[in-house]
A = this chain, B = another copy of it.
Amino acid sequence: MTTPRSRLTPEREAELYDAVLDLLREVGYDALTMDAVAARTRASKATLYRQWGSKAELVVKAMRHSKPVHAADIDTGSLRGDFEAMIERTDDCQMEKDSALMRGLFQAVHTSPDLHQALRELLVEPEMTGLEAVLRRAVERGEVRPDHPALPYVVHMLIGAFVTRELIEDRIPDRAFLSEYLDAVVLPVLHT
């Protein structure tokens, strides 16, 4: 199958994204160059820039591509079910890889405004919108009261679980841990 020069096949795009994430885990964001991506994937730099415009955009799109399910697509009929589905969408091995990526990006986010903006637009905002939809439906079903003071802080609770597990406990957050945290913290506070 041939495609016009300006478009990549979905398979080729997926292959490029995988290579970008591998490189990112190996060398970190700052040391990642478009040259290295081009060499690793046998693509031309012109193709990479035509398709993605910047390193920040390429990296963030590669990260977004690696998430098979987005919070916005989840609707199981209960708050617990929706949260569990958010945990289930990423297996433990992938979670370990994601953690390695996040570490490499933490500092880069503060030195590269392009990366910060791309992360915000392409990854953070869609996830926040998805989480807001999950919570809105829980309110509509009567599971959580509409004026619950903890609603604006669900994202703080969830991200805290991830980051603390990583930075303080030096352990990768896995599904079992997130599931326990959900039952011990997030669901009890929302159900008060």
Chain A residues proximal to chain B, CB less than 8 Å = 103-104, 106-110, 124, 128, 149-150, 152-153, 155-161, 163-165, 167-168, 180-181, 183-185, 188-189, 192
**Contact of B128 with A156 in the complex, beta carbons under 8 Å:** no
Question: Which of A156, A159, A163, A181 has the most chain B CB atoms inside 10 A of its CB?
Answer: A156
Picked from B110, B152, B156, B168, the residue with its CB within 8 Å of the CB of A124 is: B168
Q: Which residues of B sit under 8 angstroms from A152, Cβ to Cβ? A: 184
- A161 and B150 CA atoms in complex are apart in Å by 12
- B-side contacts of A124, CB under 8 Å: 168
Identical chains in the assembly = 2
Q: What are 15 A-B interface contacts by the 8 Å CB criterion?
A: A103-B107, A106-B107, A128-B168, A149-B180, A149-B184, A150-B185, A153-B161, A153-B184, A156-B157, A156-B161, A156-B185, A159-B163, A159-B168, A160-B164, A188-B192
Contact, CB under 8 Å: A157 / B185: yes
A183 and B149 in contact, given A164-B155, A168-B159, A192-B192 (Cβ under 8 angstroms):
yes
Q: A157-B157, A161-B156, A164-B155 are in contact. Are A185 and B189 (CB under 8 A)?
A: yes
The distance from the CB of A115 to the nearest CB of chain B, in whole angstroms, is 12
Cβ-defined contact, A159 with B153, below 8 A = no
Q: Which B residues are CB-close (under 8 A) to A165?
A: 156
Residues on B with beta carbons closer than 8 Å to the beta carbon of A184: 149-150, 152-153
Q: Which residues of B contact A156 (CB under 8 A)?
A: 157, 160-161, 164-165, 181, 185
Complex Cα distance A149/B184, Å? 5
Bound-complex Cα distance A189 to B187 (A): 9
CB-based contact A188/B185 at 8 Å = no
**Alpha-carbon separation in the docked complex, A170 to B188 (Å):** 28
A107 surroundings in chain B (CB, below 8 A): 103-104, 106-108
Residues in B whose Cβ lies below 8 Å from that of A164? 155-156, 159-160
